[in-house]
Chains A and B, each alone.
Chain A
Amino acid sequence: MKLGALSKTVFATYAVLFSGTAFAAELGQNPNVTRWSEGTIVYRTIETQRVRAHESWRLTAHPDGSRTIRSFVDNFDAESQLNMIHRVAKDFRPLESLVTYWSKGNYRGSGMFSVDGPTLTATLSGPQGPLMETVDVPEKFSMVPHPLATDSWHTWYFDKAKGGAQTTTLYNVQIAAPSDTPALGRLENGTMTFEGVEEVTVPAGTFTTDHYTMNDSIHIWVSGPDNMMVRYAMPTRDLEYVLTSLKTGATK
């Protein structure tokens, strides 16, 4: 087949975004990107500061207030590697999440989780074959696809005016659990308490944060309009997760 003969077809197919007509928007910023940020998180022990894993994430805030976060986790300590694209609505309620997991040198599978009102649909593809489940989810819930960057979004429906310990509902993606654990996910309840506003210094800088505890055991410090994870600590387990670098912008 002649290369030239195919070019016309392929330009309509493959290079649609390359077309030569200059848009008015060519000179401006991308209206789909209200702001962006990207950062890295180190997973380490608190006592000895032994590094256990690295995570890099990139967040895009869109004009309707929704957010897309892409995360990559290299957890060499647990011999796992995760890729994720996670979307949430303006109020941080989950919209959809795609996660792929590797564990101990083997592909564990990928999961697609879509939320439509009160229904979460999960489809799994991997060595166990295709699996699917539909789960009723409450209005106020969050997802745990496992990259730490999204764990700050469990706080989105906490009522500060009400205060005290409040119930949280999380859809926990089980695909990241050991291989003998059933895949897909499950709903789990817990409690959360707002501890106050605190200045926190981490390698990425000093941030004004909201400090939450989950049953007095897990500490979460989140900051800014995107509820960015600054620090996550489990002293009883000698584990912490700390923001080590951060870049932000409206466009590049």
Chain B
Amino acid sequence: MTKFVATIFTVSTLLWSTLSVAQSGDTDGPNANILRWASGTYAYTTLSDPRDRGWERFHMNVYADGSRTMNMWHDLKARSAQFTVIHRVEANFRPIETFVSYWVANGFKGSTLIRIDGDTLTASASGPAGQHDQTIPVPDVFSVGTHPVSADGWHLWSDNGESGVDQSSKIYSMEASADVTKPPLGTVRDLAFKRIGEETITVPAGTFDTIHYDLSGSQVWITKEDRLMVRMINERFDRDYVLTEFDNENYGEAR
């Protein structure tokens, strides 16, 4: 028994044990690692009907060094897709690391770990298509597109603040089709956007001070500090992604 107790504490509960608490000193919070957080839910609908196409949940942390982690889960039932993603970015939103797990209409498509070290992106994908590794150069200004919408505002981090002017960036966009013979790896593409201006909009989750962009034909409204998606619409494809629930803490006055 004694042996197992010693073992199991290092196994499952070392971090939580009273011993570690005694070493670190009790705290009643908040967690020193978390500068602020936000969580929420999106509804996916068509613009015209509107018809329910799916939904998404997210939880974002901002850490003491300014970096952010976005946890995303979506159920895009309209496409029989279900994606689970953890996405980390630096204080300036440049990607650090991403993990995706994709289920598509034809079953499990695979999972991929993507890491960025300076100007090099390495990705390792495994799934029905087998094991595939990728190493490619990436520019200083780029983002990772994983397809849930929560972090899509992070594609716009290079915005120069000038409204009405065409701007461009790069995106490492993940292959996410229903074809499971194609591994979930990405390619770097051009991404065009235009800052429209600051707007206050009301969605089911509340009223938000936002920046409005044209993102390659989609209209997006994102929060200022953390670039969280509030709403994205695409009239051409009859799509609407809207924040329906929002919760946060220490998130500032103008959420």
Residues of A with Cβ closer than 8 Å to B? Answer: 1-3, 5-7, 9-11, 13-20, 22-23, 25-33, 36, 38, 43, 51-53, 56, 58, 60, 62-64, 66, 68, 70, 72, 74-81, 83-85, 87, 96, 98, 100, 102-107, 110, 112, 114, 123, 125, 144, 146, 148, 151, 170, 172, 176-178, 188-191, 214-218, 234, 236-239, 251-252
Contact of A190 with B189 in the complex, beta carbons under 8 Å = no
Chain A residues lying within 8 Å of B24, measured Cβ to Cβ, are 77-79, 104
Interface of A is mostly: mixed
Among candidates B64, B107, B239, residue contacting A64 with C-beta atoms closer than 8 Å: B107
B242 in the interface (beta carbon within 8 A):
no
Contact of B33 with A190 in the complex, beta carbons under 8 Å = no
Chain B residues lying within 8 Å of A74, measured Cβ to Cβ, are 29, 31, 34, 37
Chain B residues lying within 8 Å of A83, measured Cβ to Cβ, are 61, 69, 71, 86
User: How distant is the Cα of A61 from the Cα of B96 in the complex, in angstroms?
Assistant: 29
Among candidates B10, B26, B105, residue contacting A177 with C-beta atoms closer than 8 Å: B10
Chain B residues lying within 8 Å of A18, measured Cβ to Cβ, are 218, 234, 237, 239
With A25-B80, A30-B75, A105-B32 known to touch, is A77 a contact of B237 (CB < 8 Å)? no
Contact of B29 with A177 in the complex, beta carbons under 8 Å = no
Residues of B with Cβ closer than 8 Å to A? Answer: 1, 3-5, 7-8, 10-18, 20-21, 23-24, 26-34, 37, 51, 53-55, 57, 59, 61, 63-65, 67, 69, 71, 73, 75-82, 84-86, 88, 97, 99, 101, 103-105, 107-108, 111, 113, 115, 124, 126, 145, 147, 155, 166, 168, 171, 173, 176-177, 187, 189-194, 214, 216-218, 234, 236-239
User: How distant is the Cα of A83 from the Cα of B111 in the complex, in angstroms?
Assistant: 16
Among candidates B12, B88, B126, B194, residue contacting A114 with C-beta atoms closer than 8 Å: B126
A67 to chain B, nearest CB (A): 11
